[in-house]
Amino acid sequence: MQLISSSISTATRLIITGHSLGGSIASLFTLLLLDSIDLSKNYKRPLCITFGSPLIGDKSLQQAILEYSTWNSCFLHVASHKDPLPRLFISQQSSSDAELASQTSEYKPFGTFLLCSEQGCSCFENPESILEFLGRMRSVGNRNKEMESVEYGNIVERLSRKAICEDVIPWSQDETDSFIAATINKGKKDLFTATIILQLIAIGLLQLQVAQLPY
């Protein structure tokens, strides 16, 4: 750990990744790493990206991480609606009780979640929204009793090929409101695009000129 911590600098970013239970281990390792480095020295923070990993902590761990916004921003969790592992520890409720499932689940999410289906992908940061969405994914997944193999490599490849916006994003409130109104007039698909763009702005993943995003 000391060797890895000493290799972190202001010039390079360390990326830790893992799939399934390996993603859970990657998250725990990243937390240990964040606790061992001095973020006040303007080092590039490590980035942990997990694919199809179950939740790993309770409310106490979640609150401890959320108190440090810089820590919380170091985690991106990618989950497919076909993958049962991300919702493994979510209470088994019906789709109508998805909100109740989010409230009763002992395991709590942290970081940013990129939730994917055939229709598209969207980023979520709000922990309760994430739990509710995972609960609904469970109810949909229960309709198909057979476990499906999810090729996250294909999802990543699609993300790398998709650019949903190549224009400068309006940053003032008036311009943002105008942007939303314009996309609403164009139809539901463009409204979905606008929603994703605003979510990316909120989590700092959207650049001024181009957004590489999913869907």
* 153 torsion bin: left (phi>0), alpha (psi -120 to 50), beta (else): alpha
DSSP one-letter string for 98-140: HHHHHHH-S-B--SEEEEEETTEEEEE--HHHHHHHHHHHHHH
Neighbour order of strands in the sheet with 120-124: 15-19, 47-51, 75-80, 112-117, 120-124
Residue 155 and residue 80 in contact, taking contact as beta carbons nearer than 8 Å: yes
User: What is the pLDDT, as a whole number, of residue 208?
Assistant: 38
Average the pLDDT over 13-31 and give the result.
94
Closest CA to 34 of 79, 4, 76: 4
Residue with tokens 């390996």: 22
In percent, the amount of the chain with pLDDT more than 70 equals 56
DSSP one-letter string for 138-200: HHHHTTS-S-----HHHHHHHHHH-EEE-SPPP-SHHHHHHHHHHHHHH-HHHHHHHHHHHHH
Mean pLDDT of all residues in the chain?
72
**CATH 3.40.50.1820 in the chain, residue ranges:** 2-154
Under the banding of pLDDT at 50, 70 and 90, the label for residue 41 is confident
Indicate the fold that domain 2-154 takes in CATH: Rossmann fold (3.40.50)
User: What is the pLDDT, as a whole number, of residue 81?
Assistant: 82
Average the pLDDT over 52-73 and give the result.
90
Under the banding of pLDDT at 50, 70 and 90, the label for residue 37 is confident
pLDDT at 189 over 60: no
Q: What is the pLDDT of residues 82-127, one digit of tens each?
A: 898 998 888 654 444 544 444 557 899 999 999 887 767 778 888 8
Residue 53 and residue 88 in contact, taking contact as beta carbons nearer than 8 Å: no
User: What is the pLDDT, as a whole number, of residue 155?
Assistant: 83
Average the pLDDT over 34-42 and give the result.
78
